[in-house]
Amino acid sequence: MSNCAHVQRQLSAYVDGELDPATHVQVEEHTCTCDECLEHLLFERSFRDQVRSAISDVSAPAELSQRVRVSLVEAAGAEPSGIRAKLPPPRVLIVLAAAASVGLAFWPGGLLDQGRTTAATLAPMLRDVVRLHSNALPSDIPEAEGDRVQRYFRGKVEFPVRPARFERPDVRLVGARLSNVRERQAAALFYDVHGRRVTVVVFEFPSTPAAAFDEPFEQRDSHVFYQDIQGYTVPVRNHAGLSYAFAGDLDRRALLQLAASARVSD
């Protein structure tokens, strides 16, 4: 039947349910009486099923739901519970990497467990960080190079102190000092950033609500958690269960970018 060629061309759309009602009925009736076209129809249906089942569903990685929840909380601007009214809400600012050449290594970790209450606990600690910076206390060690600093703190604090590094020629580690943040031991690292002072305080606080991502990034946005404390913007990064809080005499954007660009070697 010359009809068959025509019907067979319609079968794809027929199986997709996309034919207009009149044509749909025509094809249906034809395939009831024509073996050859029926054969084609059955194949078309089976092919559709096979394509569908060949592409199987995968499960989302475990941390995706965490990640999604964090971003929803931030988007809603939801307030952490138990926070005193005068404390500004914690925020996450998306900081653009300066250029691909500022090689950023992503800091793994930063799991948000009880993000809302940790922000409240964190604030007093960050006040101490600010105090450490604004008091401009002298360095404990005369010459500061990464290794020396690390060795200095060994035995004095109960965590390894790996200084933050920056791929910028105008950033130098100039000193370090043993200190504390609330009752916790802390290592204060002093940097000279283009002539200005920046203090990075390292202390044990594993669950800072910093949304950190595992993949290395080239030109992507970086999420940096910060709080505004007494006129200072204090970004906080996470690495291996430790928090690195930045306080400095830079404008807010510059400090956030600096914090975003920080790396810690393992």
Partner 1 sequence: MAWFGRGGAKRRQSDFEKEVLPHLDALYSAALRLTRSPEDAEDLVQDAVLKAFRFYDRFEAGTNFRAWLQRILINTFINRYRRAARERKAFEGPMAQPVGDGVMSRAALRRLREPVSEAERRLLAAEIEAALERLPEEYRLIVLLADVEELTYREIAEVLGCPIGTVMSRLHRARGAMKTQLVAQARSLGILSDEVEPDDESEQAAEPVSLDRYRRQREAAR
Task: By CB under 8 A, name the binding residues for partner 1.
Answer: 5, 8-9, 12-13, 16-18, 36, 39-40, 42-43, 45-48, 50-55, 57-61, 64-65, 67-69, 71-73, 75-79, 215
Return d(Cα 40, Cα 31) in angstroms, integer.
9
Radius of gyration of the chain (CA): 30
The answer to whether the beta carbons of residues 133 and 197 sit under 8 Å apart is yes
Nearest to 11 by CA among 21, 1, 23: 23
Q: Which two tokens stand for residue 157?
A: 């604090």
Beta carbon nearer to partner 1, 89 or 206: 89
Beta carbon nearer to partner 1, 66 or 139: 66
Q: Which two tokens stand for residue 74?
A: 């931030």
- Nearest approach in angstroms of CB 110 to partner 1 is 15
Beta carbon nearer to partner 1, 46 or 135: 46
- Nearest approach in angstroms of CB 60 to partner 1 is 4
- Nearest approach in angstroms of CB 81 to partner 1 is 10
Strand partners, 165: 263
- Nearest approach in angstroms of CB 236 to partner 1 is 21
Beta carbon nearer to partner 1, 16 or 145: 16
Return d(Cα 233, Cα 211) in angstroms, integer.
18
The structure tokens 């916790």 sit at 184
- Nearest approach in angstroms of CB 4 to partner 1 is 9
**In sequence order, what are the residues at sequence separation of 6 or more whose Cβ sits closer than 8 angstroms to the Cβ of residue 231?**
none
Beta carbon nearer to partner 1, 13 or 254: 13
